[in-house]
Structure 1
Amino acid sequence: MSWGPTQENNISMSLNFYPEARLFAKGLMEVVKALRWNSFVILYETEEGLIRMQEILKLQEFHRGKRNSILVKQLGPGPDYRMLLKEIRNASEYIILDCETENIIPILLQAKDLRMLELHNNYFLTSLDAHTLDYSILKTTANITTIRLFDPNRQEFQNVLNRWLLSDNENEDEIMKVLPPHTVLTETVLLYDAFTHIMECIKSLAATSSVETNPISCEEKSKSKNGFALYNFCRVKKPEKTLTGAVKFDEFGNRIHFKIDIVDADMPTTALGSWHSHNESMVLYRGENETFDASVANLQKIKVIVSSRMGPPYLMPRSASYEGEVLTGNARYKGYSMDLISKIAEIIGFQFEFRLTEDGKYGNWDVNKKKWTGLIGDLLERKAHLAICDLTITHERREVADFSMPFMTLGISILHKKQDKKDINMFAFLDPFSVGVWIYTATLYLIMSIVLYFISRMTPGDWENPHPCEENPEELENIWDIKNCLWLTLGSIMTQGCDILPK
């Protein structure tokens, strides 16, 4: 029995309760697709971590129009990762972090120093023990998503935990203080499942046949007589009472049936969804309402910085109501933009602060400085959480920033009248030319045919003997009647030729 990750599919005499590597990588890809991340940065620590990312890297194929939608970086030697974090700070708001569990909090703390744990930042931690960490020390509003193979809140898990630690002088409350359920490592749970399964198999096999119980040393070459039979029985028998859900092994002894739970670090007690390996399906438990409520809750924790620019009637300076009045904060401004964000803040329940962009521009790409200016630049440089003004939505701006539904439409609009449905015209092939052209063409066709008819009648060579055996026939025959003349003329016009030709 084993319970650790492996990358090889070799025929062996062991059963691994850890998820099969390729299926686990596919599960990670499905989690990223469920999160609806179109562009992101992958930070991996070891080569094994890069192998786990192989299926996620295939998502690049769905964004051929934007080839840089996935950026891959190796963490390198620690413990200071600030230089690497500075490189990717403006690359994307979505980061996939694959590293050892003990390095997660130090890396996130360094990211916080660089203002990379703000409201707009999103992290996906691929470690199966990431849910055991205490993220409250980060004091962040960033969205951190983790995964796990078991549910520590299940009653079955609580019962097993009680049996592990229960003694005469301990009660259940003291057990939870000594070992909280959410701190149990995945390796420990997989170890429990493995030993529980092998004990059940030995008991079941002993009930039907004799099982050799003589101790065998790992250093000697002696083998158990029942080893192969026990291995096959353990591989075929369906494990029961496992803490990590359904278990099934392939011919190599790798686990191909497992479940990956998606967990929000802020709400570890409830899974956001689950991916099932047996049918490769994703089930999401959080609906749109819960997602909206979670976003609003994060928004209410901070003061939202709103970037804008002066321009009536959207934003204008407010005059003092009496002499000597000093206006500060949001009271310095008035206009449609101020009224709109004030009403939104009142409905949702968050605080905001208006700040004017330094250069007073809407936002364009500066080719010389290789950066965005104005309001778009404030958003990309994290100087503001959102921007509001009479900002035109262009293709270039949509590539780097998300826009809400337009609250006002100005400029020239193009109207197109839908044509009425007409009856099918059977003579539509005549439309390329006018009626006069068709009349001239038909007249010429008839004249040419009539001329050919008279010429053929007058030509001696077109009068033939109908009976070649008679040397002196009384009558001669001419095949060029009006019908054949019309056919020859039509074939010439259509460039198709004719089987009979005048002599």
Structure 2
Amino acid sequence: MGLLCISGPGKRAPYYTCTSSHPLSNTSLLPFPSYLPPTPPRVRRLQTHHNRRLATKLSEKTPRHDQERASDTITLHWMRLTRFPIRYDATGQTTTAPPRPRPPRPPPRALRPSITDQTCSLRRRCGINRASGVNDNTGTKYEHLRAILTEDQRDSATELAFKYAVYRINNDKFILPNTTLVFDIQYVPRDDSFHTAKKACKQITFGVQAMFGPFDPLLGSHIQSITDALDIPHLEARLDIEPQEKEFSINLFPSHTYLNQAYKDMIQFLKWKKVAIIYEEDFGLMKLQEIIRSPPSKAIEMYIRQGHPDNYRDVLKEVKHKEIFSIIVDTLPGNMRLFLRCLLQLQMNDYRYHYLFTTFDIETFDLEDFKYNFVNMTAFRIVDTANRQVLRILQDMEKFQPIGHSILNKTSIIKAEPALIFDSVNVFARGLHALERSATLSLANLSCENETPWGDGSSLFNYINAVEYDGLTGPIKFTEGKRTNFKLDILKLRMEQLYKVGEWTPDDKINITDRQAFFEGGKPNITLKIITIEETPFVMLKKEKNLTGNDRFSGFCVDMLEYVSRMAGFNYIIEMSGGGVYGMIDTETGEWNGLVRELKDKKADLAVGSMTINYARESVIDFTKPFMNLGISILFKIPSSQPTRLFSFMNPLAVEIWLYVMAAYVLVSFTMFVMARFSPYEWNNPHPCNLESDVVENQFSVSNSFWFITGTLLRQGSGLNPKVPTRAPTQLFSFMNPLAIEIWLYILAAYVVVSTTIYIVARFSPYEWHAPSPCHDNKEIMQNDFTLSNSFWFTIGTLMQQGSDLNPKAASTRIVGGIWWFFTLIIISSYTANLAAFLTVERMITPIESAEDLAKQNEIEYGTLEGGSTMAFFRDSKIETYQNMWRYMESKRPSVFVSTIEEGVDRVLKGNYAFLMESTMLDYTIQRNCNLTQVGGLLNSNSYGIATPIGSPWRDKISLAILELQEKGIIQMLYSKWWKNTGDVCNRDEKNKDSKANALGVENIGGVFVVLMCGLALAIVVAILEFCWNSRKNAQTDRDSEYDYEEEEDEDDEERKQRLEDGLEGEEDEGGVTRRPPRETRPPVSPRVVLSCAWVVGRAEDRSRVVEGVMLTGRL
């Protein structure tokens, strides 16, 4: 990685802009302040050389990581200017001038005796001799401390800790008993290096024994350069990432090399394989550069992201999307609260995530929302708050706090920065105390304008460097100004608070004292006791033997617990308990039973099963978010199918409708008859030909009889011209599907029988005979076609949609016919539509349809599970219907309540019992028994939840897990698995019923054939009666005619005799022969008689000869 820096003018001070060629950097110009005080000349000379030619090259091998880090910014900390000038040789290469020789440091001198115990005020200037540091009035020795803090540290805990440390030293009788420490604090902006250096030089001119601060890395480097040049001890408490050694720097903050090693050891102990590093400031990435360059293992994948308050969510979303669960966090303390809130919003707070924070102040943040989620949070601290000495100091410090200001936070925990500055003052005091035992420390007249260093600075630095001390931040020891002895406590967030689980030291490295605090094998070490009762399909005992522990159980809740435990972070043990009931309160004693009682007494951690959430239970225990919604419904046995009646074709219309139709039929028929009587247009000549013709013809021949039945059956009328057939369906014989094969055979048989019957009936009925020749011009003989029988025939033909041979001609008859047609259209259409539903769907006789039907009757018993939420619902309900049902159930003897759901199902199967139960169990039951069904809808709305004791920390964690399971569809998947996808689900053939209608059998429409046979029998009887009646009538007519003829013949004989006597017997013809008057012939036989008897003759020509002979001879 190369770095090219170019100098340029600045608003306050010159600066350098540097371009980095590092592949991970996307920032080309990075301003770095370069101001150095104009004095001493050596420093000015150094600045001049750098302004003339500044070329800094940094070549380090950096491991190649994922290219996604290409957008990350790496800011290179500006190279602190050394106190050695840079020169150029003949080839133009830079060389570093050797340091000027320093005078040998004097050996420690004896400490001067105390002059006075009188001290000066901390804020008031004392009359001090600048050369000797002795008060001219009292002779007390004063040592001058100078501190530079940033503006945001004004009146902060850091400032108060510095003042308290000075106050404590001045009041200590054993450390510097004859010396008083006085101080001066200057405040500077964090980004103003010019004014920082200016104020430091001003403080130096007033005399100084040591310089404290600032804690900002950039400003601290400026002050350290000045103190190095003037040999002034500089006590710091900041992270210094520069590898160069500082001659006069005493840094109490652990070296970044040691810190990186501590982070590496922690990562290696946790066995992280995929790590995300989220840093906020550029300095934060430089702080972790050792981890990036040389990770603990080559197999570790690292994703480095820079975050700030505006993009915390985006960065964390990316980390979550990549499924990175091991995260190192380096953010500013002021933004930590926002960062933690983003973790909660993105639900990155479960046991899978492990956060390693670089801050030493993790105890000062509010982690209440993370304590019970089992999220892994690990951090180091440098202040051991459990140490007794530390506790005593913190107690004294708490008394020192001025009104309105605080060194400690609300939990009486001091932050690392105030503790470090407190220790730095104590380290200086102990070093000065050791020096004054052997020598007197002079206060030299120093200035940034000259190059004269402080002569006693080296001695004081050596004494301070040799201090070994146990302070607020633990054991303190230095090597070349760097802290080499310290102890970092490893903190781990657990259920209640942060606990110390180990420590890290530079010598012993990591030492975990409580390994159980960490998840092992990806599973938490918390084991919860979960109680339940056996209830299918929520929790069931397996039939296999030799099973122990949780392996004994299966079911919906058992599978759900497996998901929840992994997401919420706990192990669990399932135990049967509760006496087989979930819990119900005794209204007399107010005591609970079942699982609720055990949770109330905190004998268990969780209770799972079909446990309904209600107000009474919620008042004594807690529930998580519901994992299933339900309601109360009615389980009832499927009623047996209604027996198919022979006359089921009459079901579509009520009995009264059939009566109305028959009445309308008769009424319209009579109306047509009457209207035809009055209308002259309905009268016509029935025999338009000669009335004397003896040739007659019957329209119902054998072929015509079969064709009439064929035409009416196919609903094409009785004409002789058949219609064009419709296009055949895809399947050749699919038109036969609606009827069973036996029905088709019956129809064929009926077709033959009816045709033959009509033929026979037509032979017997004389009204089917008429004159075949319509040629007669006699207008006086008229006949009306709408006789009473024809009127009935017309209406029945139109009602059956077959028409008739009668056509109304008058307007009045047409109005009646039209309105009758409209009536038959509506009736037949409604009948046909409803007939299809009645004949293709099996009707069930369901005596109840809802809870209201149950409450109104007493024949069917109904009850609930005893001691359950359903029973409590009816008991506590304010709805009148449910109150009536509760009074019935409570007073019914024997009891209608059941102890188990299986008992309730058995009672339903036995009949005459309805079981009120929750819809989830009802659905499960009817899925496995096709004889059961649900009646009506849901009576209420309830939910199942996991129960916990009141105040349990697990409720919110489990609720979040349940919500996530619902969003991912896992709850629905488990429901389908245990309700619908098991092998014992019955097959109701729902699909087949929906796709194909049932064929009609004899039991469906057999009544039509019965009616048809009855009608045929009635027609035969009527025909025989007509034949008999007409035969008798014709015989009587023939007898009357023969009697009249004999009387007339006798009269003729008497008249002939009389004429013979009178000589009028005969006349002679042309031949002289006398002719007798012709004798009249016997009247002919009635044609009806001939027609009634001719059918017995076999062949048609024989029948014709018989008819002709009878008609000619007049005799049979």
Per the shorter chain, which TM-score range? 0.5 to 0.7
- How far apart, in 1, do the equivalents of 2:968 and 2:482 lie? 46
Q: Distance in 2 between matches of 1:207 and 1:181?
A: 40
Against the structure 1 CA distance between its residues 352 and 125, is the aligned structure 2 distance closer, same or farther, given a 3 Å change threshold? Answer: farther
Tell me the residue number matched to 1:391: none
1:71 equivalent to 2:299? Answer: no
Q: Does the CA contact (< 8 Å) of 2:407 and 2:414 recur in 1?
A: no
Matched ranges for 1:253-264 at <5 A: 253-264=481-492
CA distance in 2 between partners of 1:234 and 1:319 (Å): 71
Corresponding residue for residue 5 of structure 1: 239
The partner residue of 1:189 within 416, 419, 436 is: 419
Q: CA offsets per residue over residues 129-174 of structure 1, 9 Å max, x none?
A: 222111115565122212111212211112112332436999xxxx
Pair 1:248–1:219, CA change in 2 (3 A) = farther
Residue by residue, what CA displacement relative to the aligned partner does 1:57-108 show, whole Å, maximum 9, x if unpaired? 35757354xx6x3222111x42342122111113212221111112122112
Residue 242 of structure 1 aligns with which residue? 471
> Would the aligned equivalents of 2:528 and 2:606 in 1 still touch at CA under 8 Å?
yes
Question: Does 2:335 match 1:100?
Answer: no
Quote the Cα distance in structure 1 between the aligned partners of 2:608 and 2:350: 15
Show CA shifts across 1:437-486 (max 9, x none).
xxxxxxxxxxxxxxxxxxxxxxxxxxxxxxxxxxxxxxxxxxxxxxxxxx
Quick check: 1:263–1:271 contact (8 Å CA) kept in 2? Answer: yes
The change in CA–CA distance for 1:168 and 1:95 in structure 2 (over 3 A counts) is closer
Q: Distance in 1 between matches of 2:472 and 2:276?
A: 33
Give yes or no for contact 1:132–1:182 (8 Å, CA) kept in 2: no
| CA deviation vs aligned residue, 1:337-394 (integer Å, no higher than 9, x gap) | 65996994427945668989xxxxxxxxxxxxxxxxxxxxx99x98879x99xxxxxx
> TM-score when scaled to structure 1?
0.55
Match of 1:110 in 2: 342
CA distance in 1, matches of 2:399, 2:411: 14
What is the aligned-residue identity percentage? 21
Residue from 349, 358, 378 that aligns with 1:145: 378
Aligned to 2:320: 89
Q: 3-state DSSP class of the match of 1:275? A: strand
Q: 1:164-183 to 2 correspondence within 5 Å?
A: 164-166=397-399, 179-180=409-410, 183=413
Distance 1:344 1:225, change over 3 A: closer
- Structure 1 counterpart of 2:502, one-letter code: G
Retained in 1: the 8 A contact 2:255–2:483?
yes
CA distance in 2 between counterparts of 1:5 and 1:73 reads 21
Q: Which residue does the alignment assign to 2:124?
A: none
Residue equivalent to 2:271: 36
Distance 2:278 2:292 in 1: 12
Shift of 1:8: 1.2
Shift of 1:120: 2.4
The answer to whether the 8 A contact 1:131-1:146 is kept is no
Task: Indicate the residue corresponding to 2:261 in structure 1.
Answer: 26
* Cα distance in 2, alignment partners of residues 260 and 382 from structure 1: 42
Partner of 1:50: 285
Cα RMSD (Å): 4.4
Structure 1 residues 214 and 161, CA gap change in structure 2 (3 angstroms): farther
State the one-letter code of the partner of 1:276. T
- Given candidates 159, 165, 169, the residue that maps to 2:392 is 159
Q: 2:407·2:418 contact (CA, 8 Å) conserved in 1?
A: no
Q: How does 1:261-280 map to 2 (within 5 A)?
A: 261-266=489-494, 268=497, 270-277=499-506, 279-280=507-508
- Other-structure match for 1:481: none
Question: 1:269: how far off?
Answer: 5.8
SS of the residue aligned with 1:184? coil
Indicate the larger mover: 91-100 or 177-186.
177-186
Deviation at 1:179, TM superposition (A): 4.5
Unaligned segments of structure 1, at least 5 residues: 304-315, 321-332, 357-377, 389-503
1:264 counterpart SS class: strand
The 1-side partners of 2:257 and 2:406 are apart by: 36
Quick one: structure 1 residues 169 and 51, their matched pair in 2 at CA, closer, same or farther if it must change by over 3 Å?
Answer: closer
Amino acid at match of 1:166: K
Alpha-carbon spacing, 1:352–1:118, altered in 2? closer, same or farther (3 Å): farther
Name the structure 1 match of 2:456: 226
Task: State the shift of 1:285 in Å.
Answer: 1.3
> Relative to 1, partners in 2 of residues 1:284 and 1:139: Cα closer, same or farther, differing over 3 Å?
closer
Pair 1:16 & 2:251 matched:
yes
Distance 1:258 1:114, change over 3 A: same
* Contact 1:96–1:123 (Cα < 8 Å) also in 2: yes
On the 8 A contact 2:528/2:572 being kept in 1, the answer is no
Size of the alignment, in residue pairs? Answer: 329
Structure 2: unaligned runs, 5 residues or longer: 1-234, 531-535, 541-553, 566-570, 576-603, 611-626, 629-963, 975-1116
Amino acid at match of 1:233: Y
Q: 1:128 aligns with which of 356, 360, 373?
A: 360
Of structures 1 and 2, the larger Rg is shown by: 2
The separation in 2 between residues aligned to 1:195 and 1:151, in whole angstroms, is 19
Q: Conserved in 2, the CA contact under 8 Å of 1:109 and 1:138? A: no
**CA positional deviation for 1:243:** 1.9
Residue aligned with 1:123, SS: strand
Any idea what SS the aligned residue of 2:437 has?
Answer: helix
* Change in CA separation of 1:139 and 1:260 when aligned onto 2, cut-off 3 Å: closer
1:281 aligns with 2:509: yes
8 A contact 1:19–1:255 mirrored in 2 = yes
State the Cα distance separating 1:280 from its structure 2 match: 4.7
Q: Distance in 2 between matches of 1:165 and 1:216?
A: 38
Q: Which residue in 1 is equivalent to 2:431?
A: 201
- Structure 1 partner of 2:440: 210
1:218/1:148 CA distance change after superposition, 3 Å: farther
Opposite residue 361 of structure 2, the aligned amino acid is: D
- Once the 2 structures are TM-superposed, how far is the Cα of residue 220 of structure 1 from its aligned partner? 7.9
- Aligned with 1:158: secondary structure? helix
Greater Cα shift, 223-232 or 282-291: 282-291
Q: Deviations over 1:23-63 (max 9, x none)?
A: 11111111222233222221111222222323333575735
Looking at structure 1, the residues matched to 969 and 413 of structure 2 have their Cα atoms a distance apart, in angstroms, of: 37
* Distance (Å, rounded) in 2 between the aligned partners of 1:117 and 1:201: 47
